[in-house]
Amino acid sequence: MSVCTAGQVLDTAGPAVCGVTLLSGEIYLLRPKPCDQIEVYHVISHCLLRRLTVPDVHVFVDMTSCEHHRCLYIGDPNVECVHRLEVGQQGAVTAVTQWAVKDSFVGLSVNAAHNVIVTCNTVRKIKEFSSRGGLLRVLELPDNVTQPSYAVQLSCGHFIVCNGDPGDYTHRVCKISEDCRRIVQSHGGRPGAYTGLYHGRVHLVVDDDECVIVVDAINWRVTLLSSTLNFVREVVSRDQLKGWPGSLYLDKKLRYLYVVDNWKDTRGGCNSTAGRVVVFKFDRNESQ
């Protein structure tokens, strides 16, 4: 059984956070700024170490990382491309490249083969690319999986996909076959606030036991599902967040769960979005 204990705030208050990930024991945080978009923090002390700039891009949709290739992948919805940043041993960016996805997309993840899984929401497709951007395959999701926002491929080949946008009939998390032709299991249904329901786009991570941790943005919570997508418990509640949760990352080694927490900043008449990252200890061995 896994539960989250009380969280601490990573000292990251500032503009909205678009994504968070780890690479080589450091925390990478992405913000929509003209420069210094990536902030790098120490995984233990949470001290700011340095800032990195992604050239010629101001809009982001997601970020993920790959330890095998020592690189970051950043989604750019404006030009429908993925930026690849190679990170050297000293933490400096040694190369920046990009490749075209050629469809609207909202989610990035990396599978066990170190390939990039891109979730294309409008066309309901999953595209798998090599680390250098070579298109390996395109999978079309079932007709009733509308507006998919994020997909993770399990070691067995199945995909965990979350879907649903404001106005859609279903908001849920699905386990889908490797060829993406059928739904194996699902959790959710019509949008709602009750336990077992979701509202709005969600993000997710998968534990070593293939349990699924799901962000439910509009309902302001993070929930835990079993490997068969049965509800286990709420692991982060509304009162532990300042705003609506966005993406998240699970450090499987240190058992920390990083949750993006964004809110509207109205101080001084401003109506911009501010953000931070809240860190929770995730203990799989603690009893319910």
pLDDT grade, residue 7 (50/70/90)? Answer: low
Is 106 among the domain residues?
A: yes
What is the spatial distance between Cα 224 and Cα 173, in angstroms, rounded to a whole number? 11
pLDDT of residue 1: 31
pLDDT grade, residue 288 (50/70/90)? Answer: very low
Is 186 among the domain residues?
A: yes
Is 105 among the domain residues?
A: yes
Strand order in the sheet with 202-206: 202-206, 212-216, 221-225, 231-236
Exposure of 249 by Cβ count < 10 A (0-12 exposed, 13-18 middle, 19+ buried)?
Answer: buried
Is 288 among the domain residues?
A: no
What is the spatial distance between Cα 248 and Cα 162, in angstroms, rounded to a whole number? 14
Look-up of token digits 């109205």: 266
What is the spatial distance between Cα 51 and Cα 41, in angstroms, rounded to a whole number? 9
The average pLDDT across 197-222 equals 89
Tokens (6 digits) for 188: 């959710």
Q: Find how far residue 51's CA is from the centre of its chain.
A: 21
pLDDT of residue 244: 87
The average pLDDT across 182-208 equals 89
Q: How many domains does the chain divide into?
A: 1
Residue 8: pLDDT over 90: no
Is 116 among the domain residues?
A: yes
The average pLDDT across 248-264 equals 91
* pLDDT above 90: percentage of residues in the chain: 62
What is the spatial distance between Cα 46 and Cα 27, in angstroms, rounded to a whole number? 8
Tens digits of per-residue pLDDT, 91-102?
Answer: 889 999 999 999
Tens digits of per-residue pLDDT, 118-158?
Answer: 999 999 999 999 999 999 999 999 999 999 999 999 999 99
pLDDT grade, residue 285 (50/70/90)? Answer: low
pLDDT of residue 267: 62
Is 238 among the domain residues?
A: yes
DSSP SS3 for 275: strand
Bigger pLDDT: 222 or 271?
A: 222
Nearest to 236 by CA among 190, 270, 205: 205
What is the spatial distance between Cα 282 and Cα 257, in angstroms, rounded to a whole number? 6
As a whole number, the mean pLDDT across the chain is 89
Residue 267 structural domain: 3-283
Beta bridge partners of 63: 74
* pLDDT above 70: percentage of residues in the chain: 91
pTM: 0.92
pLDDT grade, residue 272 (50/70/90)? Answer: low
Beta bridge partners of 128: 117, 137
Residue 2: pLDDT over 50: no
Identify the CATH number of the domain in which residue 60 sits.
2.120.10.30
Residue 4: pLDDT over 90: no
Is 168 among the domain residues?
A: yes
pLDDT of residue 11: 61
